[in-house]
């Protein structure tokens, strides 16, 4: 049987995946839940690391994610975390570039942490450095960007412990942010509210095809090593937090 092609990652996501893949591999999960999986580019990679379930509320993104992930043995549910089977818990629960789209982020984290097995981990990524909030953030429905202290406080309030923060994206991420802000200046938002703009955000500037994937991988490769030199600085932030055992 032919192995399904792994979809390419956008440059920013490629930088993020380098951090996330090492974090998740180190946790050695048997079960993985991803909340807000978008079109499933990260999910196709996570589905190879454990028994994988995802939830995606956007209609079009759900269809794409389901087509990509189902052949790998994973499952995608149409909806948010409230659609996850009641009482089920997972070794690792992930949400990448999701929390900043939610008005009440404290309530979201309070709802996500119980989905983690006691002793398991929540792995999140968010845009960092609040002073960099700009046109792109507005376009795609962000309510905020985070700093490490603020996100740590939110996770602590939700009941998480042993919280670690890893910045990523130095230095390329700053250039990518600038380019996206310029592009956003010439685009019209898909909705009047942050919720409406969030709905289609996961489909904007997403690459497709093997050629695009190879080109992005080649271009980003030198910056993978550079970002590892500055894990305390970068416009992206990965948080790893544990649910008390």
Q: Show the CA angle centred on residue 33, arms to residues 203 and 98, nearest 5°.
A: 40
What H or E segment, with its residue span, contains residue 120?
Answer: strand 116-127
Query: Which residues make Cβ contacts (< 8 Å) with residue 125, sequence separation at least 6?
Result: 16, 19, 20, 95, 96, 97, 236, 237, 238, 239
The per-residue pLDDT for 1 is 44
Rg (C-alpha) for the chain, rounded Å, is: 17
What digits encode the pLDDT tens for the residues 147-161? 999 999 999 999 999
Per-domain boundaries in the chain = 11-243
pLDDT value for 5: 76
pLDDT digits (tens, 9 = 90+) for 187-244: 655 566 676 667 666 667 778 777 888 888 899 999 998 999 999 999 999 999 999 9
Structure tokens at 156: 């602590």
Give the mean pLDDT of 116-139: 96
Domain at 11-243, CATH class: alpha beta
Structure-token pair, residue 89:
């818990």
Please report the pLDDT score of residue 6 as a whole number.
Answer: 87
Of 16-25, 87-96, 203-212, 220-229, least confident by mean pLDDT is 203-212
Backbone angles phi, psi at 85, to 5 degrees: -50, 130
188 CB-near residues (< 8 Å, 6+ apart): none
């Amino acid at each position: 049987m032919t192995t399904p092609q792994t979809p390419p990652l956008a440059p920013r996501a490629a930088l993020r995946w380098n951090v996330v893949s090492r974090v998740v591999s180190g946790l050695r999960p048997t079960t993985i839940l991803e909340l807000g999986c978008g079109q499933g580019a990260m999910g196709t990679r996570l589905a190879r690391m454990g028994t994988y379930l995802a939830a995606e509320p956007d209609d079009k993104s759900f269809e794409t994610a389901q087509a990509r992930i189902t052949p790998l043995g994973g499952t995608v549910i149409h909806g948010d975390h409230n659609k996850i089977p009641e009482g089920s818990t997972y070794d690792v629960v992930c949400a990448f570039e999701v929390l900043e789209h939610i008005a009440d982020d404290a309530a979201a984290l309070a709802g996500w942490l119980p989905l983690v097995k006691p002793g398991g981990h929540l792995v999140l990524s968010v845009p960092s450095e609040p002073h960099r909030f700009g046109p792109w953030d507005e376009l795609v429905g962000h309510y905020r960007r985070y700093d490490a202290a603020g996100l740590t406080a939110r996770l602590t309030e939700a009941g998480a412990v042993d919280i670690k923060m890893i910045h990523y994206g130095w230095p390329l991420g700053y250039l990518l942010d600038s380019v996206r802000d310029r592009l956003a200046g010439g685009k019209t938002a898909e909705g009047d509210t942050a919720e409406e703009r969030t709905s289609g955000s996961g489909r904007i500037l997403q690459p497709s095809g093997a050629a695009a994937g190879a080109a992005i991988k080649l271009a980003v490769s030198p910056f993978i090593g550079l970002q590892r030199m500055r894990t305390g600085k970068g416009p992206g932030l990965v948080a790893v937090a544990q649910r008390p055992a």
